[in-house]
Amino acid sequence: MKKFNFRKVLDGLTASSPGGSAGGGGAGGGSAHPGGTAGAAGTPREEIQETLTSDYFQICKTVRHGFPYLPTALAFDPVQKILAIGTRTGAIRILGRPGVDCYCQHESGAAVLQLQFLINEGALVSACADDTLHLWNLRQKRPAILHSLKFNRERITYCHLPFQSKWLYVGTERGNTHIVNIESFILSGYVIMWNKAIELSTKTHPGPVVHLSDSPRDEGKLLIGYENGTVVFWDLRSKRADLRAYYDEAIHSVAWHHEGKQFMCSHSDGSLTLWNLKSPNRPFQTTIPHGKIQRDGKKPESCKPILKVEYKTCKNSEPFVIFSGGLSYDKACRRPSLTIMHGKAITVLEMDHPIVDFLTLCETPYPNEFQEPYAVVVLLEKDLIVVDLTQSNFPIFENPYPIDIHESPVTCTEYFADCPPDLIPVLYSVGAKHKKQGYSNKEWPISGGAWNLGAQTYPEIIITGHADGSVKFWDASAITLQMLYKLKTSKVFEKQKPGEGKATAEIVEEDPFAVQMMYWCPESRIFCVAGVSAYVVVYRFSKHEVNTEIASLEVRLQYEVEDIITPEPEIIPQFPDASSQLPSLKSLSGSTNTVACEGMMKDSIPCLSVKTRPVRMPPGYQADLVIQLVWVDGEPPQQITSLAVNSAYGLVAFGNCNGLAVVDFMQKTVLLSMGTLELYGSSDPYQRQPRSPRKSKQFAADNFCMRGLSNFYPDLTKRIRTSYQSLTELSDSPVSLELERCKSPTSENRENSFSRSRSSSVSSIDRDSKEAITALYFMESFARKNDSAVSPCLWVGTGLGMVLILSLNLPASDDLRQSEPVMVSPSGTVLTLKGAVLTFACLDCTGTLIHPPYEVWRDPHSADDGEKTRKRKLVMHSPSSSQDMGDHQFAVICSEKQAKVFSLPSQTCLYVHNITETSFLLQADVVTLCNSVCLACFCANGHIMTLSLPSLRPLLDINYLPVTDMRIARTFCFSNEGQALYLSSPTEIQRLTYSQEMCDNLQDMLGDLFTPVETPEAQNRGFLKGLFGGSGQAFDREELFGEATAGKASRSLAQHIPGSGGIEGVRGAAGGVIGDLTRARIALDERGQKLGELDERTASMMASAEAFSKHAHEVMLKYKDKKWYQF
């Protein structure tokens, strides 16, 4: 106990010591009271047993949702039925049935040029822009690279892997074709050089290889397409060209007829040529499908290039010819399209985005059978669609993946893990009212892999806010993502007519409805949105449709000390202790100190106009109240920087860089709207002189989380008073302006040399701006030092590290709540931290997180009349015995620089931890994990940290991800149970966990990409067909390309790099019988392969030994009878 008493002395000393001490458990930095409260506050420190240790924490990525950003390549395994998409950033996404979604990344980050599945083998080959081939093992839940092969002297342009072959053909920019053994990933010595492939008389280089495929009729023949229009049919056995075809337009792609007698080429002039192997001198059919036929019988005019063509045959109907591009040049506005030619019918499917690639899905994996195409997968720049070919109108399949996250750019996110379980079905029921018509009635064809729920059972919801004002609610349980419900917040406003924007009061030209902040109370189902045009909308949830007018309020927020303006005189905020010192209220409409803006003075007008007529609101979230900030004396309203709602109190609070507004959304009245400086009330003795008008720089609005949506404000001359110019600047003099403000009578024991450093942060305040409200929190708490019981409070945090507590005086009984006014008054309590305040939380005396009070949800438009008169049911979250609650609390406050824990009501700072000196926090949240609580922080330097509560011991600090992008800063959020997420690209959500338990259980939750499926048997070819149909069956690639025949390739040509995912990768395969079988089969395969290799090696050694002995015998016979001098 001696040590503990020593602590008490320290606690008392800190009240007069400058600054806060560094380190996790150091006391100080707060408004400690030397009077004896420190001892009282000290007692709980011994009682609280913190259960969390660093063993509970580990960081790993769990799953990535959304559309692969900047896609470049597409592949499909027709037996396993899984799809792979490669991207420009070196990522691969592998998709199967819903729930089977895997993300892997090439370490080099080089763009993926091409992907090829080893069909039904559980492996994938990727070719990247850094001229490296990689073999991925998909028989484990997290695919890993088994081998890599880097080409040193040539650039890879095209790859082809024949079905059931272990030899991969690789075409290069120089026009050469190399052959790689898939098993060993070593180059064969067999090379098809471009100068051998083309005729000797040809003087020009044929260009890069753009196509490679073996003949469906004979695997020993390879079709090579060169860019300049040359096609070579190469006989692999005799190592010479069987035939060559020339066309005077560049080739983009080639496709075979399944019988192997004809092939089709697509060209740069929008033409398709069909060639017969018997007459290669010229194509026997040339068409320009979208070319206009000229009257005088000339060749049709050329069109845009046909980038890819597929030629698929059907047993009972005409073949399908499907191609992308090829549209006429004169239709400049035509959208990118896919053309399907079936017999004489030509269908053009227009797409919303450019086509990256497409694949036709066929019933058979064998290239020499009728293909029977049933669907086309089209990969667009920002979408993935699948077209049903079995119906004549070619409908598309309804996409089960969450790939439309980016339908409108995401501007903010919220994540709720372990939320009430009834919310997901409720949101789904209002969101899935009517399914869109016109989709194919068939099952989604990409149905491979296996997925089970795993052990994690709690419900999770992700909310995304978007640039067009829409809000999407997603079911994110068990690492999947499915859209539940979409809310369009722009519907409460009148539509802007084109060209009207300049004349009206808009402050944002593009995306005026962009969602900037969201606040959701899952228990009461109250939802609140702050928009970029300085408005707040409060929504209530109802299962009933309603026709009603939208209530709206307008609020003036100004920074000047003498200008407290409230819209209605009868609801002037009443401060009992400050009424005598309150500046007199005066109207500013006639003020002379103004700035003209676009020829007229804008004052008291909002940025957008709310619909005045009754509006039909469908079931779901219905607007209850719209609150808009208005222009003040020609100055636009500033964007909202903080937002909080409490359903039990019926209040919404929001702030910006000018000040704070508190609104009663039950009575639809403004309770408080005042500049930040007025919040200090009578506690501010400084005589503030009006500043001389000067031009201020444009307020850096994009400091607040919305960079890049638009240039928010025009350059306006602002009326700024000189006495506040230095508010955010450093001051070396002991009596700085800020310090003057800090010396308020109610907080006499502040540190007396408090000086702050400005930090350049996403949430920090810019040099030319004012003291913004950066955090708000409604709570049952102790507002003042001498309070004996908790009361409703609003905690306010500012960009200068100030924390103010406002007392909320609510009507005593629920019956009076609709009629009696709510009083809001400053309590006089001011606490300080370094850096802008980010988050608040309260713990009870046992260290348990106290949930803010809430109202239990009831339907506001229920058909039951009695329900409207029924009392509100409030949950106040007080512990079992009320005296415990009344004893004391811990207030946890985190700023962008440090975290502090205060004991209330004594306001003693028990713990302080300086989180970062050189950087700043972007996000901090108090979260629950394993029935305990911790503080989770994400720092701008990329570190993710967790601190214990209440003692602020560091538990985890991992350098996870540098913030390369404002998007990450704006969208990173923590949730309970060790969950977090951020937008890793404009189209993708990356989820991660910081919980060791979830990292351990992740394997069970991930889907299996590979499931044992029998390869379908080839159709019986028939006797005559076998006799006359070519000699394809007898072709032995091993004999031709193996080292024994072809020799070794030059070492300098390509370098083999062993991968990380060998048999260890297989250990990660699914547990259970299938996993064991898979592992046993792979082990047997590898063993058999090694035995086979050993057998081959032994045989070749014996053969070479025999040859050597024979040769030696011949030499001996030759020289047996010769004398030494005859040699």
Structure-block tokens of residue 278? 């018997």
Q: Which pLDDT score is estimated for 1051? A: 75
Q: Is the pLDDT reported for residue 758 higher than 70?
A: no
Q: How confident is the model at residue 702 (pLDDT cuts 50, 70, 90)?
A: very low
Check residue 1097 and give its pLDDT. 72
Give the closest residue to 267 by CA, choosing from 309, 234, 211. Answer: 309
Phi, psi of 718 (to 5 degrees): -110, 145
- Comparing 569 with 219, the larger pLDDT belongs to 219
Tokens 């000290």 correspond to what residue? Answer: 42
What is the value of pTM for the model shown? 0.80
Share of the chain above pLDDT 90, in %: 55
The pLDDT of 541-552, averaged and rounded, is: 93
For residue 44, pLDDT over 70 is answered with no
576 preceded by cis ω (within 30°)? no
- Per the listing, tokens 């989180």 go with 915
Residue with tokens 């053309």: 339
What pLDDT is attached to residue 753?
28
User: Do 321 and 311 form a contact (C-beta atoms < 8 A)?
Assistant: yes
Q: Is 854 left (phi over 0), alpha (psi -120 to 50) or beta?
A: beta
Q: Encoding tokens for residue 540?
A: 């209530």
Query: Do 27 and 900 meet the contact criterion of CB atoms below 8 Å apart?
Result: no
Higher-pLDDT residue of 288, 593: 288
pLDDT of residue 872: 83
DSSP 600: B
State the pLDDT at residue 624.
Answer: 95
Instruction: DSSP for 561-583, please give it.
Output: TT----SSGGG----TTTTTTSP
Please write the tens of the pLDDT for every residue from 1032-1090: 445 777 888 877 777 777 777 888 888 876 544 433 333 334 445 555 555 555 566 66
pLDDT digits (tens, 9 = 90+) for 937-954: 999 999 999 999 999 999
Q: What is the DSSP string of 693-752?
A: P---PPP-GGGSS-TTS------------GGGTTTTS---SSS-HHHHHH--GGGTTS-T
For residue 200, name the pLDDT band (cuts at 50, 70, 90).
Answer: confident
Beta-sheet strand order (sheet of 932-939): 921-929, 932-939, 943-948, 954-959
Q: Can you tell me the mean pLDDT for 72-88?
A: 97
**1111-1116: average pLDDT:** 72
pLDDT reported for residue 1061: 66
| Structure-token pair, residue 124 | 């994938």
Stated as kind and residue range, the H or E segment containing 1094 is helix 1072-1119
Closest CA to 974 of 417, 356, 217, 177: 417
Question: Are 561 and 678 contacting, i.e. CB atoms less than 8 angstroms apart?
Answer: yes
> What mean pLDDT is predicted for residues 1004-1028?
76
| Three-state secondary-structure class, residue 252 | strand
Average predicted confidence (pLDDT) for the chain: 79
Locate 424 and state its tokens: 């997901």
More confident call, 1082 vs 367: 367
Task: Provide the sign of the torsion angle of the four alpha carbons 49, 55, 61, 63, taken in this order.
Answer: negative
Look at residue 1119 in the predicted model and tell me its pLDDT: 66
pLDDT tens digits for range 425-450:
999 999 876 567 789 999 999 999 99
Q: Which residue has the higher pLDDT, 766 or 892?
A: 892
Per-residue pLDDT band for 700 (boundaries 50, 70, 90) equals very low
CA dist 393 and 375 (Å) reads: 12
Three-state SS at 154: coil
Distance of CA 61 to the CA centre of its chain: 12
Expressed in angstroms, the distance from the first to the final Cα of the chain is 105
What is the rounded CA–CA span in Å between residue 428 and residue 286? 53
pLDDT number for residue 982: 95
What distance lies between CA 23 and its chain's CA centroid? 34
HSE of 656 in the Cβ direction (CA atoms, 13 Å)? Answer: 28
Burial of 203 (0-12, 13-18, 19+ CB in 10 A): exposed
Query: Over 90: is that where the pLDDT of 710 sits?
Result: no
Burial 1019-1039 (b: 16+ CB within 10 A, else e): eeeeeeeeeebbebeebebee
User: Which of 15, 89, 30, 165 is CA-nearest to residue 988?
Assistant: 89
Percent of the chain at pLDDT above 70? 75
Q: Is pLDDT of 799 > 80?
A: yes
User: 173, exposed or middle or buried, with CB in 10 Å at 0-12, 13-18, 19+?
Assistant: middle
Burial state string for 806-838 with b = 16 or more CB within 10 A and e = fewer than 16: bbbebeeeeeebeeebbbbbbbbbbbbbbbbbb
State both tokens at 347: 């269908």
What are the backbone angles phi and psi of residue 979, rounded to the nearest 5°? -105, 150
* Among 8-12, 258-262, 303-307, 797-801, the least confident range: 8-12
pLDDT at 765: 36
pLDDT at 933 over 70: yes
Which segment, 703-717, 752-766, 856-870, 871-885, is predicted with the most confidence on average?
Answer: 856-870
Q: What is the C-alpha separation between 922 and 194, in angstroms, rounded?
A: 57
Which DSSP state fits 201? T
Give the containing element (helix H, strand E) for 95. strand 91-95
Segment among 517-521, 621-625, 1044-1048 with least mean pLDDT: 1044-1048
Q: Is the CB of residue 567 less than 8 Å from the CB of residue 556?
A: yes
Tens-place pLDDT, residues 376-426:
999 999 999 999 999 989 999 999 999 989 999 999 999 999 889 899 999
Token pair in block for residue 764? 């920090």
Give the per-residue pLDDT at 1092. Answer: 61
Query: What pLDDT, on a 0 to 100 scale, did the predictor assign at position 966?
Result: 85
With b for 16 or more beta-carbon neighbours within 10 A and e for fewer, the 248-262 pattern comes to ebbbbbbbbbbebeb
- In angstroms, rounded to a whole number, what is the distance separating the alpha carbons of residues 267 and 226? 12
Q: Which two tokens stand for residue 374?
A: 């049933």
Q: Does residue 713 register a pLDDT over 70?
A: no
- Looking at 96-105, 750-759, 1095-1104, which range is the least confident one? 750-759
The mean per-residue pLDDT over the stretch 468-489 comes to: 93
In order, the DSSP letters of 31-59 are ---TTTHHHHHHTHHHH------GGGEEE
Euclidean distance between CA atoms 247 and 228, whole angstroms:
8
pLDDT average, residue stretch 752-766: 34
Out of 1-5, 192-196, 948-952, pick the least confident: 1-5
What per-residue string of b and e applies to 35-56 under the rule 16 or more CB within 10 Å gives b?
Answer: eebbbbbbebbeebeeebeeeb
- Closest Cα to residue 29, out of 907, 1039, 1042? 907
Q: Which residue has the higher pLDDT, 491 or 755?
A: 491
Query: Range with the lowest mean pLDDT among 117-131, 429-443, 1014-1028?
Result: 1014-1028
